[in-house]
Chains A and B, each alone.
Chain A
Amino acid sequence: MADLNLSPNLPECDDFYAALLETHEGLEEAQMHALNARLILILANHIGDTEVLTQALQAARKSS
């Protein structure tokens, strides 16, 4: 069974974080939500592993 990696895994995490913010630059709130929803679908398709995705959904829901 594949496990969701919850240890640090992004080599340039500051760069990614900055890019994430930049991608949202100038958007209205509704547009931001829409962008994030598209991003989730794109990433989920890339991961392509139901078990990992299920764990990711649970992890996201738990941390609010």
Chain B
Amino acid sequence: MIAPRYQTAFRLYPYKKSPAQDAGTAMRHPVVIVGGGPVGMALALDLGKKGIACLVLDDHDGVGMGSRAICFAKRTLEICDRLGCGAPMVDKGVVWNVGRVFREDREIYSFNLLPEDGHRRPAFINLQQPYFEQFLVEEIRLQQADGLPVEIRGQNRVIGQAQQDDHVLLDVDTPDGPYQIAANYVVACDGANSPMRQMLGLGFEGRTFEDNFLIADIRMTADFPVERRFWFNPPFNPNETALMHKQPDDVWRLDFQLGWDIDRDAELDPDKIRARVAGMIGQDTPFELVWTSIYTFRCCTMKDYRHGRVFFAGDSAHQVSPFGARGANGGIQDIDNLAWKLAAVIDGDAPDALLNTYHEERKHGALENIKNSSRSADFLTPRNPAHTLFRNAVLDLVETYEFARPMVNSGRLSVPCTYDSSSLNSLDGLPDGPDRSRPGSPCSDAKMAEGFLLDHLAGGFTLLAINAPLPSDIDGVAVVSFSTDKDPSGPLAKRYLGPAPGAVYLIRPDQHVAARWETYDAGAVATALQKAKGGA
């Protein structure tokens, strides 16, 4: 028997007994993914699309209810485009650009994310996490009909593991009792309290922040603008902060900082919450409480994201504070990084060493996310008199002096990580080229005469030539050629050429730049390709 640990919003993969449960021996799978949250499901879709059979085990039969992630970043949407489900997310999501910051009852400044032109996707959308997960699972279902080799088993809880020489043996509990599964590789996407991490006896270190936040998701039809509103010391929540943000379905996320010493039960009393909400949105504005919870947060990471045949991705590997929306967005970048590497090694196309670079690159990404989200937390939750002194100094200055605006830190919103010192990069052969496209960086999208650049970079390794002659057939890479003749000042030229007349880029399957040159050289490309696949 497995007791549910939380309520589900959508039942997407109800328990069905698998013949494997009666087989008597453990059936072998190339990849088993433990945990079907956003990270596990995205990984399954990515691996499946690359032809790698994988099995997802989740201990529930659907998507968890309640308020967690709402802000999904452009890079996440681009990855979901590559997986096939970006469009329904953007169609359902709320696009926003303007953020306003208030102190007491005055607006002290506002910002506009002012998305740069020439990208398919906006800087951010707001979408309830259950929808995000639902769209991933629906895409898996759709592609399963065309043979996507992904299987999802609901109410399958992993309760034990043993690493063998060439596989991992998992003990799995189900409503019909336990059975065993053997896996060549296991990816633990089982969330911040990761049972896999605990079963392996591995640590999760970092900082817990001494603060509580009350989340109230409310439904109201009042005509508030579609903006992110943030308050320091508002009259309705003195000495603390508050946040208001729109989600689809007329739902709004309200967030109230409560401080450390609180009476949880008293704070969760619906009458008390209603009074707080009315203080924020106005006494006469009708609303309905959709979901409420109190959360505390920590910034933690594992030491290593690879342990033999077991990998950790998403919250199981690292956890951040919600400021900056770096949790799910960071986790999706994890699987973007891991899927092609795992597929290449399983297909015998790359050495096992390539898998070590998953840890190398994504630990770097996680530390960047932790640094940023910890700094936001320090600004919002000053921990000593000096923190308070300088935070208030910034807030005092910001109304009068523009220079102080960038110092106000109510969350540094997730941007994709550049793998600057990755061992997969080759020396920059276009040093005067645009900095944003240097080796290690994620490719910027660019509007083309037809469609968008990223659509052309959605397969395996790609050689992208701009105003540079290329042979039409090169071993091991797809070839894509463009000319900027008709549009010399367009986004493609700006983002990829800079002062250079032409350029050749070697792009990884996760759309990160591995190498770039001014012209094509067969030997240089072959060497860089080998390096990008983890061969020295």
Contacts and interface: CB of A to CB of B under 8 A. Distances in A.
A24 interface: no
A42 interface: yes
B6 interface: no
A24 to B, nearest CB: 15
A45 interface: yes
Contacts of B397: 38, 41-42
Contacts, number: 24
Nearest to A45: B403
Interface string A27-55: 00000011001101110010000000000
B392 A34 contact: yes
B401 A42 contact: yes
A41 B390 contact: yes
A34 B403 contact: no
B379 to A, nearest CB: 13
B2 interface: no
Interface in B388-416: 389-390, 392-394, 396-397, 401, 403-404, 407
B392 A41 contact: no
Interface residues of B, number: 11
A59 to B, nearest CB: 18
B206 to A, nearest CB: 25
Interface residues of A, number: 8
B389 A37 contact: yes
A33 B393 CA distance: 9
A38 B403 contact: no
A41 B394 contact: yes
Contacts of A45: 403-404
Which residue of B389, B393, B407 has the most chain A CB atoms within 10 A of its CB atom?
B393
Contacts of B403: 42, 45
B394 A33 contact: no
Contacts of B407: 41
Nearest to B386: A37
Interface of A: 33-34, 37-38, 40-42, 45
13 contacts: A34-B389, A34-B393, A34-B396, A37-B390, A37-B393, A38-B393, A38-B396, A38-B397, A41-B393, A41-B397, A41-B407, A42-B401, A45-B404
The 10 closest A-B pairs by CB, nearest first: A37-B393, A45-B403, A38-B393, A37-B389, A37-B390, A41-B393, A38-B397, A33-B389, A38-B396, A41-B397
